[in-house]
Amino acid sequence: MVAKDLISEVIPPLRTSDTGQAALNWMEIFRISHLPIVNNQDFLGLISDSDIYDMNQLSEPVGNHKLSAFNPFVNTDSHIFDVIGLAARMNLSVVPVLDKNNHYKGCVISAELINYMAGISGLASPGGIVVLEVLQHDYSLSQIAQIVESNNAKIISCYITSPTDSTTLEVTIKLNTMTITPVIRTFERYGYEVRSWLSEEDSLSDFYSDRFDNFIRFLDT
- Digit-coded pLDDT (tens) for 66-88: 665 678 999 999 998 899 889 98
Structure-model confidence comparison of residues 51 and 149, the more confident one: 149
**Tens digit of pLDDT for each residue in 106-132?**
999 998 887 777 666 666 677 899 999
Confidence of residue 214 (pLDDT cuts 50, 70, 90): low
Quote the CA–CA distance of 24 and 27 in Å, as a whole number.
5
Count of residues making up the chain? 221
**Tens digit of pLDDT for each residue in 2-23?**
899 999 989 999 998 999 999 9
Nearest alpha carbon to residue 116 among 9, 212, 203: 212
User: What's the number of CA atoms in the CB half-sphere (13 Å) around residue 58?
Assistant: 9
Task: Tell me the average pLDDT across 97-101.
Answer: 94
pLDDT at 201 over 50: no
Contact of 121 with 157, CB cutoff 8 Å: yes
List the domains of the chain with CATH numbers: 3-116 (3.10.580.10), 122-219 (3.30.70.260)
pLDDT at 93 over 90: yes
> Between helices 113-121 and 80-90, what is the axis angle to 10°?
140
Contact of 107 with 75, CB cutoff 8 Å: no
